[in-house]
Structure 1
Amino acid sequence: MEGALDAGLKLFGMWASPFVHRVQLALKLKGLGYEYVEEDLSNKSPTLLLLNPVNQKVPVLLHGDHPIAESLVILEYIDETWTERYPLMPSDPLERAAVRFWCHFAVDKLGLSFWEILKSTGDEQRAAVREALGNLKLLEDELRDGLFRGRRFFGGEKMGFLDVVIGCGYHCLPELDEMTGADPFELDEGFPCISKWVRDFRAQPEVKEVIPDHDKLVGYMKVIRQRILSQGSASAPRV
């Protein structure tokens, strides 16, 4: 049980999933209690398959009798349902559009490039690292000179929707080499804005409560990497 169950919420997840972490962090910021159900993704429960028959993945948020699937959809549902509690989306339409754009960037560009690093070696991995660095440069430029310039977080002085989406997926950027065996790169040298944002994100008490133990998470990612390399291919997770 996560807090007082005051909203009729049940979250089906998996402890290491960054997509599940997004939902957990949003619920934590909103102060919403929920029941948590851990799923074994190698042996999915009949309940999960019933609630999410389309992609059969976590997270799934059950609100009363209504299941909501996919992390970004769930985040918007949470924010639009409990509007009086810690708004995640900005009120300005232009800024909301920017947040949605960079959310798609995080999924379609940044996330895929880091997945390529995870599942590759040698020259292929080095090419994936270059692509990831290029994507990080775009995000760095946006933090330095774009709509979010001068802010502590994308959401302002407090974390917002985009912080939750990017943060839960890429808070381990400083340990990328440790997780994947890739050539290390220093965020502080080439990406000072992102580096500061990562430190501030990690320091938030809500984040510390949601993100699993560092060594346990890195160890899990190493196991996943070895499994992918031994199988020869794997599609990127997109939930």
Structure 2
Amino acid sequence: MSVRVVVRTFSELCITVGALIILFVVYFLFWTGVKAADAAEGEIDTLQSQWAREPVAPAPPPASARTSPAEEPVPSPDQDQDQDQDPVPYRAGKPFAMMHIPRFGADWEWPVLENTAVGTLKKGLGHYSGTARPGDTGNFAVAGHRRTYGDPFKDFPELRPGDAVVVNDGTTWFTYRVAKKPYRTVPTDTAVVDPVPRGSGFEDAGRYLTLTTCEPEWGSSHRLIAWAHLDATRPVSEGRPPELSG
């Protein structure tokens, strides 16, 4: 085999490998984003259709994130007994709420779906099954991709204390306030989604929110965590909260 043939073969191989690398990058940077946007839009449409068919229930009374179970209001004997029944479980992989984070842009909104399976996180944000529901006492914990599939948490490190995270479950707007800058930990640190999350600075039972994503930006060796506490509630019948207006 001549040197000329070897050089030509090697050149063709380099061109092929380069083309494959470019296609791989385009897939992760562009095509997964297109697919995620379509999927998320579909989940949002599903939620809006569902909420349009169902009557809007009154919002629960405003609650401080520091409220302990012992301080919960005691229902009166003549209250509707249906209120004592357990809520309908969320359906795996199905949306149940919308999340808005003004820090990430006025148009930033993503559906929150039940569980954090790979397929679920391709369509939106994932709720850690077994953690609290929005507004409930405990820790409402949510995961999202930092990069790929729409980059929902691309700007996660920009979160700052006092930032609003607003969740709408179709009946109520729940406004949480970020407690401190994102915290870096390892994927095996599951205590970050405990009812009173370790490392959050919270000491008593309350109504908390935990957001998690991958760290570094293009890797997954660690996790970034942000904690927030419930600051206010507002019935959807009263319109969007001030954090989302303007």
What TM-score do the two structures reach when normalised by structure 1? 0.25
Could you say which structure has the higher strand fraction? Answer: 2
Could you say which structure has the higher helix fraction? Answer: 1
What TM-score do the two structures reach when normalised by structure 2? 0.25
Pair member with larger Rg: 2
